[in-house]
Amino acid sequence: MVEERYVDSRLSFALLATNIAKRIESRPKANDQIKVAAGRILNVLNADARVTVVSPREGLNDEVAYRIEQKQVDYVDRKFEPSDLDGVDMVLTAVDDPVASTEIYKLCKERRIAANIADVPPECDFYFGSVHRDGPLQVMVSTNGNGPKLANIIRRQIASGLPDNAGAAIQKVGLLRRKLRKVASTPEEGPKRMQWFVQP
């Protein structure tokens, strides 16, 4: 008899955030960093990822604490340990210690885990862009870590030029597309579908 088991195919992210509270007290810019870290949690949750936050409780901001309280993310109440990388697909950090950040990056490289070390573009295997979402519409602007605030400004400028109902319009286009696929379902009929789609 074959046993069926559910396999969770979602990517696993670890957000490593150590002693962030101290960082906020000592540097006003760090508050922005924590907002960015909290935003990254939302980005990966929106991508249906499993997220584990590793941080002493006193290092959490309200947004991250809320996600933990709502059981939207897993939580480990302590500083980072190398075993936190076990079974993880990607790592995001917001660590107040540059030496520790670099060590985490090196451990990720050894294990072939993609990492994004906050505020250290050379130690980033991927970047987060500034994203505008309106239903199914997503517009992302990235500067590859060179100017996140500038990406945000550009994204807001692009979003301000979009019609208010763009997301709803795209949903209707998707519905029409699905209906057309039922009428003309073969790949050969693709051009025909496209013709119907653009006719006035």
- Alpha-carbon gap, residue 112 to 109, rounded angstroms: 5
Query: How many structural domains comprise the chain?
Result: 3
Structural domain range at position 110: 12-128
Query: Which residues have CB under 8 Å from 111's CB, separation 6+?
Result: 85
What is the percent of the chain with per-residue pLDDT over 70, rounded to a whole number? Answer: 79
DSSP labels, 54-112:
E--GGG--HHHHHHHHTTSSEEE-S---GGGGTT-SEEEE--S-HHHHHHHHHHHHHTT
Distances (CA, A) of 75 to 38, 144, 154: 14, 29, 34
48 is catalytic: no
pLDDT of the residue at 92 = 87
User: Is pTM beyond 0.85 here?
Assistant: no
pLDDT in tens, 82-116: 999 998 888 888 877 788 889 999 999 999 999 98
The answer to whether residues 67 and 152 belong to one domain is no
Rounded distance, CA 135 to CA 10, Å? 21
d(CA 97, CA 80) in angstroms, rounded, equals 12
Q: Clarify whether residues 44 and 124 are in a common domain.
A: yes
Average pLDDT over residues 120-138: 88
Sign of the Cα pseudo-torsion (29, 152, 56, 122, in order): negative
Please report which confidence band the pLDDT of residue 3 belongs to, taking 50, 70 and 90 as the band edges: very low
State whether 103 and 188 are in the same domain: no
The DSSP 8-state label assigned to residue 187 in this structure reads G
Contact predicate 19/97, CB 8 Å: yes
| Catalytic one of 48, 119, 125, 134 | 119
CB 45 within 8 A of CB 5: no
Domain for residue 110, yes or no?
yes
